[in-house]
Structure 1
Amino acid sequence: MLGIFKEKLVKAPKELNSPASLNSCTKPKLSHEILQDFMSCNSSNAFSMCFGNEALLAYSPSNKPSIHQRLFSGLDNIYCVFLGGLHNLSMLNKQYGLSKGTNEAMFITEAYRTLRDRGPYPADQVLKELEGSFGFVIYDNKDGTVFVASGSNGQIGLYWGVAADGSIVISENLELIKASCAKSFAPFPNGCMFHSEHGLMSIEHPTKKMKAMPRIDSEGFMCGANFNVDSQTKIQVMPRVGSEANWATWS
């Protein structure tokens, strides 16, 4: 999986952008170069979708059976790449009135659309209901927003970094991220969600701020940042009432 979102669409956390990238023997790449690398190292059934000059999603189905499946869904201008599996998918489908054949990517897309358009239920509460291992990226082409989440058990690893043009790059492929972003990358924090307008938030502790901790690589250079819950801080939030309290516009 690969997602690339231009800087004017998504502001990457400033701590991801390491000054060591300028002096690294591996230089950050441009978006089209990263896409070429992804397509060349994946199977012939890989495909990509470009949304003007602002967003790009690329996807390659799993070539062999695995509990960590890769799925793609597109519905009503919402596109989702899902990694992993949900143990309680059947229950969730019943809860949302979806058919038995709805897979994880389709469910996430439907849940996102429901909450964006109609539901006052907070995003962190929805994600807490997901049982299993998961990581996903949603691009909402209607609203021009990006939503990323990773489960708390750490079995699905996502990585994010900054490309040469300032775009944010997201993938489960660590080697691709390293080659694309030089020193400006880090693991996407487990148990967290990221929204292009409102930034990074813990799913388990949504009222706590996230704190960036510098990462030092084996060569002694700063290499992006790890993000952890800062237990000493609290986000001041208004009561979530009405259509604003959803995945598309939490605050």
Structure 2
Amino acid sequence: MALSHHDESPLHPRSIVVLDDIFCIFVGTLENTAELRHYYGLPRQATEAMIVVEAYKVLRDRAPYPPDQVVKELHGKFAFIIFDVKTHTLFLARDREGSVEFQWGVANDGSLVCGDDPKIIREGCGNSCAPFPPGCIFINGSGLASFDHPLNKVKAIMQEEDGGNIKSVYFQVDLFTRIPSIHRSGSAANWADPVEVKGEQMSDI
């Protein structure tokens, strides 16, 4: 994991923090930092990255606390990458509007590569890369999910050229496939009608 402030947008600053062997790169801003600091018992000096790490620790230590609930509490324009050294867990997320540039792809050796610089991702992954879908989370071992509609699978829809090559990909919630899950008492979100995830066109995949 690496962070540079080169060409950093003042609207979407980048920050990195390492706490208890948990690495977090956070890009963007949260609108409810004061509320989140109070909720997690953090000092006023706690940054967005520190808040996200604390939220992740709650998710990890209170299993099976649902990850979609953790991300729903974050209001703002953001994307983040978390890697937990102790559990070898990778946790990615992007806000509903896709406000912050966030790309992911697969390198030649099969490694997952992600970041906010499309040029670097393209150099590392060639054509096997795309924007990370807005309103989604990814956890290794669990896969990609919509944090607003966690009980429906997120499906990649590919568009092909006449020659059969993949031209572009977009993501949407699969209306016909529900993920088996233990009902969370009092959570109306579990039974909400599924809707399409806000798609983002991905060209030259």
Q: TM-score range by the shorter chain?
A: 0.7 to 0.9
1:221: how far off?
3.5
Aligned partners of 1:215 and 1:192: how far apart in 2? 21
Relative to 1, partners in 2 of residues 1:97 and 1:86: Cα closer, same or farther, differing over 3 Å?
same
Corresponding residue for 2:179? 235
Q: CA deviation at 1:97?
A: 0.5
CA offsets per residue over residues 177-197 of structure 1, 9 Å max, x none? 122211111111000000011
Change (3 A) 1:61 1:153: same
Is residue 186–residue 226 contact of structure 1 (8 Å, CA) maintained in 2?
no
Match of 1:190 in 2: 134
3-state SS, counterpart of residue 201 of structure 1: strand
- Distance in 2 (CA, whole Å) between partners of 1:62 and 1:74 is 21
Contact 1:184 1:223 (8 Å CA) reproduced: no
Instruction: State the TM-score, normalized to the length of structure 2.
Output: 0.82
User: 2:116 pairs with 168, 172, 176, which one?
Assistant: 172
Is contact 1:62-1:70 (8 Å) kept? no
Among 72, 82, 87, the residue aligned to 2:31: 87
Structure 1 residues 67 and 115 mapped into 2: Cα distance closer, same or farther (>3 Å)?
Answer: same
Secondary structure in 2 matching 1:233: strand
Q: Does 1:157 align with 2:88?
A: no
Q: CA deviation at 1:95?
A: 0.8
Residue 238 of structure 1, CA deviation: 2.0
Q: 1:240 to 1:197 in 2, by over 3 A?
A: farther
Quote the RMSD (CA, aligned, Å).
Answer: 2.2
Any conservation in 2 of the 1:212–1:227 contact (CA below 8 Å)? yes
Distance in 1, matches of 2:59 and 2:16, equals 20
Q: Which residue of 2 aligns with 1:50?
A: none
1:73–1:215 distance in 2 versus 1, CA, 3 Å: farther
Taking CA–CA contacts closer than 8 Å with sequence separation of 6 or more, which of the two structures ends up with the larger relative contact order? 1
Q: Distance in 2 between matches of 1:142 and 1:223?
A: 39
Sequence identity of aligned pairs in percent?
42
**Structure 1: which 5+ residue stretches go unaligned?**
1-56, 242-251
Counterpart CA distance in 2 for 1:68 and 1:130 is 15
Gaps of 5+ in 2: 186-205
Kindly provide the CA deviation profile for residues 139-187 of structure 1, in whole angstroms up to 9, marking residues without a partner as x. Answer: 0000011000000011112111111111111011112112221111111
Question: Per-residue CA shift, 1:27-60, capped at 9, x if unaligned?
Answer: xxxxxxxxxxxxxxxxxxxxxxxxxxxxxx1111
Structure 2 CA distance for partners of 1:238 and 1:96, relative to 1, 3 Å:
same
**Does the Cα contact within 8 Å between 1:187 and 1:226 map onto a contact in 2?**
no
1:115 is displaced (CA, Å) by 2.2
Displacement, 1:214? 1.4
More strand by share: 2
